[in-house]
Amino acid sequence: MKFEAKGLAKSFAGPPIFRDVSLSAESGLVAVTGRNGSGKSTLLKIFAGLMRPSRGSVDIWSDGRRLAEGERGDAIGWASPELEFIDELTAAENLSLLSRAAGRPKTSGAIAGLLDAFGLARAAHDRRVGEFSSGMKQRVRLAFSLLLEPPVLLWDEPYSNLDQQGIDAARALMNGRRETGVVILATNDRRDIEDADDEVSLS
Amino acid sequence: MKSPFPSRAFAVFLRDARRELRRRTTLAAVLFFAAAALILISFSLASVALPAGDRAKLNAGVLWILLFFSASSGLPRSFVREEESGTALALRKTAAGEAVLVGKFLFNFLLFLAIAAVAVPLFCLLQSWTPANPWSLAIVLLLSGFGVSFVSTFLSAIVSRAGQKDILFVLTALPLLMPLLLPAVEATAHAAADPAFAAIDPVWKVLLSYDGLATVGGLVLMRFVWEG
């Protein structure tokens, strides 16, 4: 499996916020860095297929075959502070219905296991997301990114609002995933990406 | 291997339905609007004396004003609420636009039917109006409600990421729904005045054609609306 982005540029009714961004990775941790407003979150949204680039392309190759658009969406997991869930549903209900809407329904056991990995086992079934703290919501976002077991993970500021236990859980998962797939992490904190295998720096 | 399209669309419907069942804001808002309009209409028309034929036409028009504006207070919220609350991103990341459209349409159609189920009998009672053929009237309401719900859901998807959503919805909905609402009013008047099923022929075919064209058009275009 290979993640490939070529010549990406994005502008919003003005000069491009970034241009000529290219990246190719088969596994490992890729850091996306840059000052505030440099387009890190926008770049990750383009990688995730949630936004169209002004120029360039994003592809995923598997066994020498370029994945079609629908397959590509499932192959990429994304978590961002912008991501929200329905307040009136529990975390487990949110993830279960989203997996069913994606056409890849997960059993309640699989979803419980996923949320448990982020320390949300009990709260995920007992409490609605609207009652969650900001740190708990961040854990649900990270769990959501892993919902369809994607080989490519895009994490935008993944440790924001997390306590040390949450950070440790997220780091452990990330370290496991980077061995077998690609983890692309956008952050302002250099400590999070000290051991990155590659870096995309946006100025 | 992905699960079939209907189960994906049904998951989107369940998501909306569960939210509504726990919050009940949309249902309460549209029913309150319908009740308020119904009371105003009843008082203002109570003393109007008209021949039976004219009364059927007037009642049909007023009934559709009541249904359309009550539905309009709730139907456009389906996609707008997702965008405003930030939950659209999770849906956009996981679900195909067509499944989202159909799932949200199902919810809106049920909402329309719930409004009709409450408003139409009450309207008939307060206006002392007995439709000559209730089954014809039900067919007209089903066919028209389908079209109003589908087009409103699709337009909600279009305007949800724009500024000035409410006014944009009204401005786009009016010309698109007029070809449905005018025959709907006509067919309602016929169903109310004539006990024969033939009374709503061929208008019901117009309504059915509108529903078919709107559904095909919406499903074809939804991909572009959803992906932005």
Q: What is the mean pLDDT of each run of 10 residues along chain A (203 residues)?
A: 94 90 95 92 95 94 89 93 95 96 94 92 84 95 96 95 92 92 92 90 87
Contact assignment for A89 to B103 by CB distance below 8 Å: no
Which ipTM value was assigned to this complex? Answer: 0.91
Nearest CA in chain B to A94: B15
Closest CA to B15 of A94, A111, A61: A94
**In chain B, which residues have their Cβ closer than 8 Å to the Cβ of A83?**
86, 89-90
Closest CA to B141 of B158, B124, B166: B124
Q: Label residues B201-211 b or e (16+ Cβ within 10 Å = b).
A: eebbebbeebb
**In chain B, which residues have their Cβ closer than 8 Å to the Cβ of A84?**
85-87, 89-90
User: In this structure, are residues A142 and A161 in contact, taking their beta carbons and an 8 Å threshold?
Assistant: no
Q: Report the domain count for chain B.
A: 1
Nearest CA in chain A to B81: A86
User: In this structure, are residues B63 and B141 in contact, taking their beta carbons and an 8 Å threshold?
Assistant: no
Strands (E), B64-112: none
B161 touches chain A (CB under 8 A): no
Rounded to the nearest 10°, the torsion over CA B160, B182, B129, B72 is 10
Q: Residue B107 and residue B100: Cα distance in Å, rounded?
A: 11
Write out the residue range of the structural domain in which residue B99 sits. 5-227
Contact assignment for A101 to B8 by CB distance below 8 Å: yes
Task: Give the three-class secondary structure for A49.
Answer: coil
**pLDDT tens for residues A52-84?**
999 999 999 998 899 988 888 889 999 999 999
Q: Residue A54 and residue A14: Cα distance in Å, rounded?
A: 11
**pLDDT tens for residues B8-62?**
999 999 999 999 889 888 888 888 888 888 888 888 877 777 777 788 888 899 9
Q: For strand A76-79 and strand A198-202, is the pairing parallel, antiparallel, or unpaired?
A: unpaired
Q: Residue B43 and residue B65: Cα distance in Å, rounded?
A: 16
Q: Label residues A144-169 b or e (16+ Cβ within 10 Å = b).
A: bbbbbebbbbbbbbbbeebeeebeeb
